[in-house]
Amino acid sequence: MAPLWRAVRVGELSTSQMENLVLDLAYVLGVIALFVLVGLVGKAVEKL
């Protein structure tokens, strides 16, 4: 696997590496969305 600091061309990635990259990206975006959702619920409760 390439070091994080090295730019990787899409052509160099195997299918399994690409799948892992997509899953990692989806996981990170899901965690961010969860924090945003918790923040919005917190603000809504605060207004009650």
Cα-Cα-Cα-Cα torsion 9, 10, 16, 21, nearest 10 degrees, comes to 80
Can you give the pTM of this predicted structure? 0.62
DSSP state letter for 5? T
Tell the residue number behind the tokens 């899953």, with chain if given.
23
Q: What is the pLDDT of residues 15-44, one digit of tens each?
A: 888 888 999 999 999 999 999 999 999 999
Contacts for 25 with CB less than 8 Å, ≥ 6 apart: none
**Over 60: is that where the pLDDT of 1 sits?**
no
**Over 60: is that where the pLDDT of 2 sits?**
no
Q: What is the pLDDT of residues 7-21, one digit of tens each?
A: 556 566 678 888 889
Tell the residue number behind the tokens 């799948």, with chain if given.
19
Distance from CA of residue 1 to its chain's centroid? 19
- Tell me, what's the pLDDT at 38? 98
Residues in the chain: 48
